[in-house]
Structure 1
Amino acid sequence: MKIVKMITIILTIIVMAIILALPLAFISVLFITPNMYYIVPLFIAIYVILVVLIIFKTLGWTKYKSGKKSFYGVTAMIIAVALSFTASGMYKQNLDSLEDTEVDLHQYMPFAPETKTVKLEEPVTWKLESNLPVIDGATALYPMYAGFAQAVYPEKEYNLYSSKVMSNMTNIAYENLINGQVDMIFVAGPSAKQIEAAEQAGKELKLTPIGKEAFVFFVNSKNPVKSLTINEIKGVYSGDITNWKDVGGKRNAIRAFQRPQDSGSQTALQKLMGDEPIMDPPKENVIDLMGGIIGQVSAYTNYNNAIGFTFRYYSTEMVRNEKIRLLQVNGVEPTAESIRSGDYPITAEIYAVTAGSENPHIEEFIDWILSDQGQEIIEKTGYVSIGK
Structure 2
Amino acid sequence: MKKRVLACLLLLTLAGCASQSRPQPPAADTPPAEQPAQSSEPILSPTDYPRVDGSTANLPMMAAIRAAATGESPEQAEAMTTCRKTPEAWMALANGETDLLLVYEASEQTKKRLDEIGNELVITPIGRDALVFLVNDGNPVTGLTQEQLTDIYTGAITNWSDVGGAGASIAAFQRPEASGSQSLFMKLLMRDKKPVEAPTELRPEEMGGLVDSIAEYDNSANALGYSVYYYVSCMYGMDGLRLLDVDGVSPSSETIASGAYPLINEYYLVTRANEPANSPAAKLRAFILSDTGRSVMEQAGYVPLQE
Q: Which range, TM-score by smaller chain? A: 0.7 to 0.9
Q: 1:252 is matched by which residue type in structure 2?
A: A
* Partner Cα separation in structure 1 for residue 237 and residue 175 of structure 2: 20
- Runs of at least 5 residues in structure 1 that lack an aligned partner in the other structure: 1-102
Task: Name the structure 1 match of 2:288.
Answer: 369
How far the C-alpha of 1:132 sits from its partner, in A, is: 2.6
Judge conservation of contact 2:51–2:98 (CA < 8 Å) in 1. yes
* Partner Cα separation in structure 1 for residue 17 and residue 78 of structure 2: 25
CA deviation vs aligned residue, 1:222-270 (integer Å, no higher than 9, x gap)? 1001001111111111122111111111111111111112111011111
* Partner Cα separation in structure 1 for residue 48 and residue 240 of structure 2: 45
Judge conservation of contact 1:352–1:366 (CA < 8 Å) in 2. yes
- TM-score when scaled to structure 2? 0.83
Match of 1:382 among 292, 301, 305: 301
* Partner Cα separation in structure 2 for residue 350 and residue 322 of structure 1: 27
Q: Larger relative CO (CA 8 A, sep 6+): 1 or 2?
A: 2
Structure 2 residue 262 is matched with structure 1 residue 345: yes
CA deviation vs aligned residue, 1:48-93 (integer Å, no higher than 9, x gap)? xxxxxxxxxxxxxxxxxxxxxxxxxxxxxxxxxxxxxxxxxxxxxx
Structure 2 residue 83 is matched with structure 1 residue 170: no
How far the C-alpha of 1:300 sits from its partner, in A, is: 5.4
Q: 2:260 is matched by which residue type in structure 1?
A: D
- TM-score when scaled to structure 1? 0.67
* Partner Cα separation in structure 1 for residue 204 and residue 121 of structure 2: 27
Match of 1:151 among 68, 86, 96: 68
Aligned length: 279
Match of 1:201 among 97, 117, 120: 117
How far the C-alpha of 1:117 sits from its partner, in A, is: 6.5
Structure 2 residue 251 is matched with structure 1 residue 334: yes
Task: Name the structure 2 match of 1:261.
Answer: 177
* Partner Cα separation in structure 2 for residue 227 and residue 311 of structure 1: 17
Structure 2 residue 140 is matched with structure 1 residue 224: yes
* Partner Cα separation in structure 2 for residue 159 and residue 125 of structure 1: 19
CA deviation vs aligned residue, 1:4-25 (integer Å, no higher than 9, x gap)? xxxxxxxxxxxxxxxxxxxxxx
Judge conservation of contact 2:17–2:295 (CA < 8 Å) in 1. no
Task: Name the structure 2 match of 1:85.
Answer: none
* Partner Cα separation in structure 2 for residue 206 and residue 151 of structure 1: 23
Indicate the SS of the match to 2:102: strand
Structure 2 residue 23 is matched with structure 1 residue 138: no
Indicate the SS of the match to 1:260: coil
* Partner Cα separation in structure 2 for residue 260 and residue 108 of structure 1: 28
- Runs of at least 5 residues in structure 2 that lack an aligned partner in the other structure: 19-38
Larger C-alpha radius of gyration, 1 or 2? 1
How far the C-alpha of 1:336 sits from its partner, in A, is: 0.7
How far the C-alpha of 1:309 sits from its partner, in A, is: 0.4
CA deviation vs aligned residue, 1:90-114 (integer Å, no higher than 9, x gap)? xxxxxxxxxxxxx1268539xxxx9
Task: Name the structure 2 match of 1:291.
Answer: 208
Q: 1:379 is matched by which residue type in structure 2?
A: E
Match of 2:100 among 174, 184, 187: 184
How far the C-alpha of 1:301 sits from its partner, in A, is: 1.5
Q: % of aligned pairs identical?
A: 36
Judge conservation of contact 1:126–1:368 (CA < 8 Å) in 2. no
How far the C-alpha of 1:357 sits from its partner, in A, is: 5.4
* Partner Cα separation in structure 2 for residue 121 and residue 135 of structure 1: 20
* Partner Cα separation in structure 2 for residue 362 and residue 168 of structure 1: 18
Equivalent residue runs for 1:83-162 within 5 Å: 103-104=1-2, 107-108=5-6, 116=10, 118-119=12-13, 120-122=16-18, 124=40, 127-129=43-45, 131-153=48-70, 155=72, 157=76
Match of 2:228 among 296, 311, 332: 311
Higher-helix-fraction structure: 1
Judge conservation of contact 1:220–1:302 (CA < 8 Å) in 2. no
CA deviation vs aligned residue, 1:256-290 (integer Å, no higher than 9, x gap)? 11111211101111102110112111111110111
CA deviation vs aligned residue, 1:122-178 (integer Å, no higher than 9, x gap)? 461561236432101111111012111111126385685xx6x43222122122212
Indicate the SS of the match to 2:221: coil
Indicate the SS of the match to 2:10: coil
